[in-house]
Amino acid sequence: MLSFIYEIELFGAIFMSVIFFLGAVHGLMLTFLLVSKKVNQLSNRILAALMLVFTVDLAMAALLSVGLHHNYPHVIGLDFSITLLYGPLLYLYSETLIKGNKRLTLAQKKHFIPFILLTLYFLPFYFNSGETKLNLLSETGELQYGSEWITHFKVVYSLAYLPFIIRDLYQYRKKIRANYSTLEKRNLDWLQGFVLAGTLLGITAGVLYTVSSFSDLLSEYTDFTLLASTIFVYSIGYMGLKQAEFFTLIGREEKQVPKEEKPRQESYTRSGLNEEQGKELHQQLCALMDKDKPYLRNDLSLAELAGLMNISTHNLTEVINTFADA
């Protein structure tokens, strides 16, 4: 009977390990995909960093689930301080997506100070021997290093960002109502779904952690939280594949170039288009108009039309002004 129970527990551990491992692989693929994007680089790279944090967390969980940390004890603790990145990265992603930042400000960089301080505090542990690290692990795989209040702080710190994220989302909604565009409405739908999923994940983790603090359900808390994280990572990938423009169109709209009293060909010298490319894009534009008839939509914006052709608004303007009457 005991042997049967052991086999069931072993199967469950292996099954969860496979789930976590697949989630880590998926998160790593999303990380590379987002880093490679040339449009809206800052927001995409922040999201890539968030996916990388999930990847490390899930990979460590997969390792611990089947006991591989005994073979590779030096990796123990690599995920200890990254919990402090969830809240800041989710917040900065939504903020830079809304504001269209090109780089992080000094104030935004300060959100990473707690993570840096905790990592510095944890440095002595990293230089310990593998045997010492294994001795600091509890039976449930919880790291017994430093005060337990550090873990409490990590959870509270991450959850504290949720009200600010929701506030930014509310302000973005007001902006769209004042200046409606289809593209921004779609951006809002994406951001709302992303923030909602992240909020539910954070609240779920917080509730489960609180319950586990007053009971012996720590391992169950960890499994459920990581399973929810895996679902979150897969959801981001699914939404990105289903509507890939969310990774490319957001933030594409550019500032209008002031009109100058110069010949047409000179006004677009920095666009990089030659006559042959311009004619080819004009043919694509005509084909798009004939096939999909986007001109029937009264709310069609220049940025959205450029997105449908996968070119910049500046190049689209050049094609329309230079080749439409050719």
pLDDT digits (tens, 9 = 90+) for 226-275: 777 777 777 776 665 555 445 554 444 444 444 444 444 444 444 567 77
In which band, very low, low, confident or very high, does the pLDDT at 298 lie, cut at 50, 70 and 90? low
pLDDT of residue 185: 61
**For residue 324, how many other CB atoms are within 10 A of its CB?**
10
Burial environment of residue 58 by CB neighbours within 10 A (0 to 12, 13 to 18, 19 or more) = buried
pLDDT of residue 138: 57
What the block records as the tokens of 125 is 């542990």
Q: What percentage of the chain carries pLDDT values higher than 70? A: 69
52-77 average pLDDT score = 83
pLDDT of residue 251: 46
In which band, very low, low, confident or very high, does the pLDDT at 220 lie, cut at 50, 70 and 90? low
List the CATH code of the domain at 11-247: 1.20.1070.10
pLDDT of residue 126: 83
| pLDDT tens per residue, range 42-59 | 888 888 898 899 889 888
In which band, very low, low, confident or very high, does the pLDDT at 73 lie, cut at 50, 70 and 90? confident
What the block records as the tokens of 138 is 């509890």
Least confident of 9-13, 171-175, 253-257: 253-257
Query: What b/e string do you get for 10-26 counting C-beta neighbours within 10 Å, with b at 16 or more?
Result: eeeeeebbebbbebbeb
Location of structure tokens 């491992």? 21
Decide: 74 and 130 in contact? Cβ < 8 Å.
yes
Query: What ranges do the domains of the chain cover?
Result: 11-247, 264-323
pLDDT surpassing 90 at residue 117: yes
In which band, very low, low, confident or very high, does the pLDDT at 208 lie, cut at 50, 70 and 90? confident
What is the DSSP-derived secondary structure letter of residue 180?
-
